[in-house]
Amino acid sequence: GQQLNQSPQSMFIQEGEDVSMNCTSSSIFNTWLWYKQDPGEGPVLLIALYKAGELTSNGRLTAQFGITRKDSFLNISASIPSDVGIYFCAGHMDSNYQLIWGAGTKLIIKP
């Protein structure tokens, strides 16, 4: 099935470092969503992007909707231990109620 290309697959970083991850697609999306999954829980929405070129922040998180509508990135500044988890990107086309998912980026913070 269709899936977004999300990278990197995993990241080992030091506490306090900035993090960047991105998603690309061969298809155009009208909405990009970024989710975070904590261990043992379901994914929870972090940021939603609705317009090409849009840059949106949520605390230390910043995400952008690519101009071509085929990509998006998520940045986390000054990482802290509670940032560990799996981050998923997802794209939506208005034609249906389904999301297309990336495979996830696993963030691990070294103490």
Residues that bind another protein (CB under 8 A): 1, 3, 6, 9, 30-31, 33, 35, 40-45, 48, 50, 88, 90, 92, 94, 97-99, 101-104
Residue 97 Cβ, how far from another protein at the closest point, in Å? 5
Residue 78 Cβ, how far from another protein at the closest point, in Å? 27
Residue 102 Cβ, how far from another protein at the closest point, in Å? 6
Closer CB to another protein, 37 or 77, in the complex: 37
User: Measured between alpha carbons, how far is 28 from 74 in angstroms, rounded to an integer?
Assistant: 18
Closer CB to another protein, 85 or 102, in the complex: 102
For 2, the token pair is 């269709």
User: Measured between alpha carbons, how far is 64 from 87 in angstroms, rounded to an integer?
Assistant: 15
Residue 75 Cβ, how far from another protein at the closest point, in Å? 20
In the block, tokens 């249906």 appear at: 96
Closer CB to another protein, 77 or 100, in the complex: 100
C-alpha separations of 65 from 16, 60, 68, 80, 102 in Å: 25, 17, 8, 25, 15
In the block, tokens 């980026």 appear at: 105
User: Measured between alpha carbons, how far is 15 from 82 in angstroms, rounded to an integer?
Assistant: 10
Closer CB to another protein, 34 or 73, in the complex: 34
